[in-house]
Copies of this chain bind each other. A is one copy, B any other.
Amino acid sequence: MISVKIIAVGTLKENYLRDAAAEYSKRLSGYCKLSVVQLKESKLSDNPSEREIANALDEEAKAISAELSPRSYKIAMCVEGRQISSEALAEKIEAVSLEKSEICFVIGSSYGLSDKIKSACDMRLSVSQLTFPHQLLRVMLLESVYRAFNIIAGTKYHK
């Protein structure tokens, strides 16, 4: 059973997001060993300068890097990444599981991810051209991974 690790910066603040994430975690337990690592979001002033944002992303990058493993196929979630279909995500997960013991998705803070993290990953994945809050994105990612495993298993979830 492959391990799926989600590294996410920031906590889920809304109850409905926590409930959604818990539901998908439960559903995913039949398909993979899921772990979700929540890292601290750097504090920023109300109107942060470019430099302040870069420093925050740097600080977050250090904490993320400590969680990245060479055993893992690493995917950075970023708006400029490649978009793929649910079927293609399923194929990707299947292909990765032949070579690696873990697939790891990295979700940054509301200012995204440092270039260092993007470069350290094997792939950049975009979900949409639209911007979504990183907390909702976590639920969207859990759903997409759950769907991918259902496609691999050939269940009726994905019609």
Q: Does A128 reach chain B (CB closer than 8 Å)?
A: yes
CB neighbors of B among A65-98 (8 A): 83-86, 89
Which residues on B sit within 8 Å (CB–CB) of A131?
A: 85-86, 147, 158
A85–B131 Cα distance when bound, in Å, is 7
By a beta-carbon cutoff of 8 Å, the part of chain A in contact with chain B is: 14-17, 19-20, 23, 46, 83-86, 89, 110-111, 127-133, 136, 139-140, 143-144, 147, 156, 158-159
Residue pairs across A and B with Cβ atoms less than 8 A apart, 20 shown, are A14-B20, A15-B16, A16-B17, A16-B19, A16-B20, A16-B23, A20-B20, A46-B156, A83-B130, A84-B129, A84-B130, A85-B130, A89-B130, A127-B128, A128-B128, A130-B147, A131-B158, A132-B140, A136-B140, A136-B143
